[in-house]
Amino acid sequence: MSSERVIENDEESVDNNETSGTEQVKEQRKTLECNECGGDLRKNEKRGELVCVDCGLVADDQHIDRGPEWRTFSSDDMDSKSRVGAPMTKMLHDKGLSTNIDWRDKDAYGNNLSSRQREKMHRLRKWNERYRTQGHQDRNLKLALSEISRMSSALGLNDQVQETASALYRQCLEKNMIVGRSIEGMASACLYAASRQCKTPRSLDEIYPVSRLSNDQSIEIDRAYRYIVEELELPMEPVDPKQYLNRFLNDLDIHPEKRTAMQQQAEKLLDATEEQNLHSGRAPTSLAAASIYAAGLLEKAGLTQTEVANVSDTTQVTIRKRYKEMLEAAGIPY
């Protein structure tokens, strides 16, 4: 699509966002008339002008679309699809907005630079890098964000979680909450909170091993998490066991045919137990695990308690206890 698409006026560009560019143009041609002679007005895309076909009057020379560049399908998208600049991302410490100087000593055409130019570029690069990572806060952020990125890919978390975690860490930094605490611990805690907020929770037990904290330092993550929830007033609700179903079922590699049936069955069981207040006080992971095991029984998937316990970070004993009361709650004899 042309970057200088010419449209009737700015309001139109907002209202007709759902229709494609060509449709808009057709409609315009019918409605627009020259004030002087009544002839059709036609747009000149390259010049951004509206010109009368008959008398040559330039009706408007400022017809450049300042609206969003791409087609959008929801009002949320509208804001994010700005016409200019690189997309902003919170995953980079400078939101991806700083200057980058290529490390290759080539000019825009790919030719080698003269030695004089080369030296100049070296100096510029050096100073640019110094400027970018200037100050302790920026250094702090840079380290934290790279840790968040590393950990979230190790845990198979998506970009949305990573963005959320980065945003949380940024807030902590702005409120001066990091001083006196370890960057690693705070970053891990942000990631943990983000994974829950994005409905793809990871347990703290899963976070510990991918963080660079030693085993006896792992309580730092608990502490940091409580701290940021308190300070940032995050609305953290208890994790819904259903949010684990997908991942656990994936890890169990079940016959694709039984997979959906089991998930539905498990959700039904969780609903039944939820209604009878059997969820409170119980670890969400164990509830999810038990519902999966019970669903496996009902669907005859040949799942063992040990298998489910392994993927869910629980134990057979716990699964036993839970799945029985689940079947009972759902009124299913076993």
Q: Judged by CB under 7 A, does residue 321 bind DNA?
A: yes
CB of 223 to DNA, least distance (A): 12
Q: Judged by CB under 7 A, does residue 223 bind DNA?
A: no
Residue 58's nearest CA partner among 45, 46, 41, 33 is 41
Distance in angstroms (rounded) separating the CA atoms of residues 197 and 189: 12
Smaller CB separation from DNA, 162 or 286: 286
Distance in angstroms (rounded) separating the CA atoms of residues 68 and 1: 12
The single residue listed with the structure tokens 């049936």 is 261
Task: Give the single-character DSSP code of 215.
Answer: G
- Stretch near DNA under the rule CB under 7 A, chosen from 22-30, 45-53, 108-116, 306-314: 306-314
- Stretch near DNA under the rule CB under 7 A, chosen from 45-53, 90-98, 107-115, 297-305: 297-305
**Dmax over Cα atoms in the chain, in whole Å?**
88
- Stretch near DNA under the rule CB under 7 A, chosen from 111-119, 155-163, 259-267, 313-321: 313-321
Binds DNA (CB under 7 A): choice among 138, 163, 206, 313 = 313
Binds DNA (CB under 7 A): choice among 262, 286, 288, 330 = 286
Counting every residue, how long is the chain? Answer: 334
Smaller CB separation from DNA, 13 or 243: 243
Residue 251's nearest CA partner among 202, 284, 208 is 202
Touching DNA, residues 139-178 (CB under 7 A): none
CA distances 136 to 139, 176, 190, 191, Å, are 5, 12, 20, 22
Smaller CB separation from DNA, 162 or 285: 285
Binds DNA (CB under 7 A): choice among 135, 281, 331, 333 = 281
User: DSSP string spanning 231-290?
Assistant: HTT--PPPPPTHHHHHHHHHHT---HHHHHHHHHHHHHHHHHHHHTT-STTS-HHHHHHH
Q: Judged by CB under 7 A, does residue 322 bind DNA?
A: yes
Distance in angstroms (rounded) separating the CA atoms of residues 272 and 288: 13
Binds DNA (CB under 7 A): choice among 125, 132, 268, 282 = 282
- Stretch near DNA under the rule CB under 7 A, chosen from 3-11, 137-145, 208-216, 305-313: 305-313
SS3 of 85-140: the string is CCCCCCCCCCCCCCCCCCCCCECCCCCECCHHHHHHHHHHHHHHHHHHCCHHHHHH
Q: Judged by CB under 7 A, does residue 37 bind DNA?
A: no
Q: Yes or no: say if 203 and 285 are a contact pair by the CB < 8 Å rule.
A: yes
- Stretch near DNA under the rule CB under 7 A, chosen from 54-62, 101-109, 187-195, 299-307: 299-307
Binds DNA (CB under 7 A): choice among 51, 202, 314, 327 = 314
Binds DNA (CB under 7 A): choice among 187, 258, 305, 327 = 305
Binds DNA (CB under 7 A): choice among 232, 315, 328, 332 = 315
Site string for DNA, 91-130 (x = CB under 7 A): ----------------------------------------
Q: Please count the CA atoms within 13 angstroms of the CA of 155 that sit on its side-chain side.
A: 28
Q: Judged by CB under 7 A, does residue 259 bind DNA?
A: no
The strand pairing partners of 60, in sequence order, are 50
β-pairing, 58-60 vs 41-44, is unpaired
- Stretch near DNA under the rule CB under 7 A, chosen from 108-116, 170-178, 245-253, 279-287: 279-287
* Residues of the shown chain interacting with DNA in the complex, contacts defined by CB under 7 A: 281-283, 286, 303-306, 313-318, 320-322, 324
